[in-house]
Structures are given as C-alpha cells and as structure tokens.
Structure 1
Amino acid sequence: MKIRTLGRHVREGAKNLGRNGWMTFASVSAVSITLLILGVFLILALNVNHIAQTVEKQVEIRVFLDVLADKTIATQVQDQIEANPKVDTVTFISKEEGLEQLKKRFGQNAKLLEGLEDDNPLPDTLVVKAKVPSETASIAKEVKGLEHVEDVSYGEGTVEKLFTATAAIRNVGIIFIVGLAFTAMFLIANTIRLTIMARRREIEIMKLVGATNWFIRWPFFVEGLLMGSIGALIPIVILTGGYYYLVDKVNTSMTVVFFSLLPMNPLSYQVALILISIGAFIGIWGSMISVRRFLRV
C-alpha cells in the first residue's frame, strides 16, 4: 500500500469520528465505562495477590537446637539445612540474642526476665525461610529429623490453612478478571458494531461503485482503533489519579501499616498497557467484524 493511500485512510478514519458524533460518543463511553470497571478489579486483584505474597514471605521455621549444643554443632546443623535446595536463608540466633528479643516482646514486663543472663534456659535457634513458601511444611519435617535438633516450630496447621486461603484468593481473582475481560470485550464490540451498522448504506454504496473490500475496511479499521484507544485513555487517567491518591493515603495512615499497596511504578504502566491493548484490540475487532457482513453485496 502506498503511503499516500494509507494517509488517506487514516484521515478518513479520524474524520468519521467527528461526522458520526453521537455514535462515536456512545462507543467511546461504552469502552471507557467497561474498561474502568475492569481496571478497578484488575488493580484490586493485583494488590490482593501482593498482600498474599507479603504474608507468605513472613512464614518462617524456627529450629530449636539442644540446650547443650555449642557453636560448632550449631554451625554444622546450619550447613546441613543450607544444603537443602528448597531453603532460601538460614539465620543463627544465639541464646543471648533470643533472650534480648524476648525482653523486647515483654515490654514493660521485661523485668520478670532479669537474672536469666547467667543461667539462660533458652536454646540456640536457627530461623529458616523457604524459597517457595508453600514448601515450608516439608522443609520443617526434613529439618526435624536432623541430629541435635530439639524441636521445630512453624505454625503447623495454621500455615497450611494460610496457603490454601491465598491460593483460593488467587484462583478466584484470576477467574473473575478473565470473565470480566471477556464480558467487556463483547459489550464494547457490540456497541461498536451498532455504530458501523448505522452506516451500512455508506458501505453498500462504496461497494457498488467499485471500491475494493480493503479500501472500504481501512478507514473503519482506523476508526475502531481510535475509538478503542481514546476510550481506554479516559479510565487510565481516572485510575492513575485515584490510585495515586489511595497510595498516598494508605502510606501516611498509621492504621494500615501492617500492609502496603503496590507502588505506582510499575503498576500504573502495567494497567495502562493492558487497558489500552484491550481497547485498541476490541475497537479494531468490532469494526472489522461488523464491516465484513456488509461487504457481501
């Protein structure tokens, strides 16, 4: 195709947006509203997944060594655990450090622990974190069988329920987003098809005077692309501004410091790319499908 011909198609497609003002407005509005709803749930799903991952990463295994185990034995056990390919990190906490941490947890009641420094009853501890949090239970079972390990604690029972819950949340989120995306595609495509159907006489006349199918298709291709892209830009602006405000409020609020939302960058760019891709694709798809049926003259 010649550059001049392509330029003509682009100009015609852009002009058609203005010539069919109300129908264009209806199509762009349908795209904007539908993608705004999709964008809200997409951001929600991504943040729920982020919070679930944050909670999972806090799961750890505490390995309590024999009270009589010395530094050498502790190092040997640590080396054995680190050799496990499922293990991410192993941190040694001496009985002295453990006592200091216990005092901090007691707060004002720390005086109840005074005098234990000389006769510390706490064992040396190894804090183990798994590369994949869901493998925490299996690692704990393997570690518990090692020599000089007195006990292992990882919240047995509760941790398994946590992983089951987070997996369910992820699966429900994925199913919901996919379902909403397909619903959005059909709603937007049908609205754009109504816009094209209102101009079926124009297509039929062009076909009768000898215009080729692709000569007729190209302006509608450009028009659908522009409608979908413009319709996607509106929710992108709204969502970006709204999310910036939300992140700012959450980060400055002392009541929700136990979790954090995903940062603006790269979330805003990811959501914008997804929405504008969906908008452009549906705009083109809806236009091309609708034009095709009127080319059979």
Structure 2
Amino acid sequence: MTVAVVVTMAVSLSLFGLGLLTSMEVDLVKGRWYDKIEISVFLCIKTTTGGMCEDGKGATDAQRDAIQAALQGNPEVAQVFYESKEAAFEEFQRVFKDSPILGSRTADEMQDSFRVKLINPENYQGVVSEASGLQGVQNVQDLQSLFEPLFKWLNGLQWATIGMSVLLLLAAGLQIANTIRMAAFTRRREIGIMRLVGASNLYILLPFLLESLVAGLIGVLVSGITVAAGYLFIIERNAKTSIRTLPWIDWTHVTTAILAMAAVGIALAIIPTLLATRKYLRI
C-alpha cells in the first residue's frame, strides 16, 4: 500500500508540475505575442473593392484624417502609426527582392495603412468593428484572430494536464487516507492502551503522520526529479535549440513548480492522515 501511495503521488505530482510549467509557458508566449499584436487598417486605392471603398476611387485626405482621428480617439488604442504607399512599397521591395513578382507592383498600387497598437490586445474587437465602418477603409486585419486558435489550443492543453493531475492527486489523497486507516485499525489495541495510560493525541498521531510524510516526500522527490529531467532533455537541450522564435521557461520556473509540488505533496500527506485518524484518537 505504501509503495502504491508513493507511485500514485509521484505520477500525480509530476503531472501537476507539468501542468504548472505548461501554464507558465503559455503565459510567456502570450506575453511575447500579445506585445507584438497590432491591428492594420488598410485604406482604399483605385483598384480595390469591398469594405467602405467607392469603385474606382481611393481614400481621400479628408477620409484619411478622419480615420486617424477616430483611431486616436478610441480609449482602447495606445498608439497609431501611419504607413504611406511609398513606405509599403519599400517594404515590398525588401521582402520580395529575390522574387519574380518584384516587378508586378508599383508604388501607386500599394495600400497605405494605419498600424494600431492596443492598450490591451485582448480587447481588439471594438477597435476592429469601429475601423471597419469608417469611410475609406478597405480592410482591417487583426493578428489576434490568427493567434486565437493557437492560444485556445494551448489553454486546452494546460487545463487538461492540470485536470488530470487533480484527479490523480485526489486518488493519491484517498489512497493515503485508506492506508493510514488500515494501519490505525490494525493498531487499534495499542492505541487504546496508549490512551488509557494518558498518551496525548499528538503522541499517538505522530507515527502515522511520519509514515504518510515519508511516503509523500519520496513522491515529491521522484516527481521533482522527473519534472527537472523532462525540462532538461525536452526543453533545454531540444526545444530551445530547435525553436528559437519562442520564449521558453527557464530553471527559475522549474524551481517554482517543484516548490509548488512539494507544498501540495506535504499537504496531501498531512490532511488525509488527520482526517483518517480522528476516529481512533477518540478511543
């Protein structure tokens, strides 16, 4: 039973630690990508259709000024940058300098645009809705809609890992309580004698508490080694060198996760023991 408790705690705490590390990684990725998220408001030119464009007409100076004023007046907007057709054409030439499509565009065929930096990138829908209804706007592109499916998948993975770990932690707690209850039942005569000679509750409880604590600490140690080894071989030696564009958790995050695992493991060893031995302390 003790071995089963140790194994269950080690597996559940390992999953709990992995869930915490996954949560930390998701927060890092969100923080890095949210800082880069912008809304691009593309203005009409003579060849564009759709949006708030008039056929064969580009955005006028008055419309451009009105769009800029509306964006700057929105309380969700932090900064507004204007990119002219010439600047867009220079960027096009830089990106496609070795491509055969380089000569397919001229500066007049490029769209000037406003790049909008938000105070809170999660509150992008109101800005997109307002910008889409302004005269002279052909299209509004928000990077949030591109990243949102990825963030949902990462959040789902995070909560699935934590959910599985919580179920296993519950199973470990029940197993610890059952093990201590069986141990107390087999020693109920000795406990009764100790009560008769005036032994305190703490004196009676201490052997059971130490037994569960030792099992819990072994589980914490095994799970800590598992999480640290997983980080070393999967993240440190592989992911960080293969995917350099993403921010990655470091040993500080691993240490935080292991400390949290230790706190949960100790609580998981103490609380079920106190609950399981209440009956026998009243003998």
TM beyond 0.5: yes
Aligned counterpart for 2:266 among listed residues 269, 280, 283: 280
Q: How far apart are the structure 1 equivalents of 2:153 and 2:138?
A: 31
Correspondence 1:117-266 to 2 at 5 A? 119-146=107-134, 148-154=136-142, 172=160, 175-248=163-236, 249-253=238-242, 256-257=243-244, 259-265=246-252
TM-score, normalised via structure 2 length: 0.73
Residues 80-110 of structure 1, C-alpha deviations (whole Å, 9 max, x = no match): 4243232344333332332232234325216
Q: How far apart are the structure 2 equivalents of 1:263 and 1:208?
A: 56
Q: How far apart are the structure 2 equivalents of 1:88 and 1:200?
A: 70
Q: How far apart are the structure 2 equivalents of 1:98 and 1:79?
A: 21
Q: How far apart are the structure 1 equivalents of 2:239 and 2:16?
A: 22
* Alpha-carbon spacing, 1:73–1:142, altered in 2? closer, same or farther (3 Å): closer
TM-score, normalised via structure 1 length: 0.70
Q: Shift of residue 250 of structure 1? A: 0.9
Look up the SS of the partner of 1:91 in the other structure: strand
| Identity between Structure 1 and Structure 2 (%) | 29
Correspondence 1:46-65 to 2 at 5 A? 46-47=24-25, 51=29, 59-65=37-43
Q: Shift of residue 149 of structure 1? A: 3.5
Q: Quick one: which amino acid aligns to residue 252 of structure 1? A: T
Q: Shift of residue 292 of structure 1? A: 1.6
Residue pair 1:74, 1:124 contacting (<8 A) in 2 also:
no
Q: What runs of 5+ residues in structure 1 fail to find an aligned partner?
A: 1-22
Q: How far apart are the structure 2 equivalents of 1:96 and 1:156?
A: 27
Q: Quick one: which amino acid aligns to residue 250 of structure 2? A: P
* Alpha-carbon spacing, 1:35–1:157, altered in 2? closer, same or farther (3 Å): closer
Report how many residues are paired: 270
Match of 2:55 in 1: none
* Alpha-carbon spacing, 1:71–1:269, altered in 2? closer, same or farther (3 Å): farther
Matched, 1:39 2:26: no
Residues 115-172 of structure 1, C-alpha deviations (whole Å, 9 max, x = no match): 83xx433232222244444433332111223455443223797677667656655655
RMSD: 3.9
Look up the SS of the partner of 1:108 in the other structure: coil
Aligned counterpart for 1:93 among listed residues 68, 80, 83: 83
Match of 2:48 in 1: none
Match of 1:296 in 2: 282
Q: How far apart are the structure 2 equivalents of 1:163 and 1:29?
A: 33
Q: What runs of 5+ residues in structure 2 fail to find an aligned partner?
A: 46-57
* Alpha-carbon spacing, 1:82–1:295, altered in 2? closer, same or farther (3 Å): same
Q: Quick one: which amino acid aligns to residue 85 of structure 1? A: P
